Amino acid sequence: QKEVEQDPGPLSVPEGAIVSLNCTYSNSAFQYFMWYRQYSRKGPELLMYTYSSGNKEDGRFTAQVDKSSKYISLFIRDSQPSDSATYLCAMSDNNAGNMLTFGGGTRLMVKP
């Protein structure tokens, strides 16, 4: 079993839909949780950064962390075709800048 599980998709939604992306993990020591967006043939771009449990909102994006369930989510409201990309969750146990454990990524397609 992988340390971080993420549905590879592809997830196809119509423009304007609310998107829910999720990761589950097994290491209870993880404290720092990040979501990266990666467009094809580009490097990952940091979208959201969360420490411990709770919610964080930034524009159309909301990150949720439930440490008791070892489950994190990224919600995208009013999805746009430009949101079409692969979304990678990443987490770390002691410091967000240290070694990250990545999920396999979910490919999202938003259709106009």
| d(C-alpha 16, C-alpha 92), whole Å | 32
Q: For residues 31 and 65, give the distance between their C-alpha atoms in angstroms, rounded to a whole number.
A: 10
| Choices 11-19, 29-37, 62-70, 71-79 (CB under 8 A): range interacting with other proteins | 29-37
Side-chain half-sphere exposure of 74, counting CA atoms within 13 A: 29
Q: List the one residue from 72, 79, 87, 105 that touches other proteins (CB under 8 A).
A: 105
Q: Count other Cβ atoms within 10 Å, centred on residue 90.
A: 22
Of 3, 15, 45, 66, the one binding other proteins (CB under 8 A) is 45
Asked if 46 is part of the footprint of other proteins (rule: CB under 8 A), the reply reads yes
Q: Which of 59, 82, 98, 112 binds other proteins (CB under 8 A)?
A: 98
- Select the residue interacting with other proteins from 14, 29, 41, 82 (CB under 8 A): 41
- Distance CA(68)–CA(70), nearest Å, equals 6
Pairing of strands 45-51, 32-38: antiparallel
Site mask, other proteins, residues 9-28, x = CB under 8 A? --------------------
Name the site residues for other proteins (rule: CB under 8 A): 32, 34, 36, 41-46, 49, 88, 90, 92, 95-100, 102-105
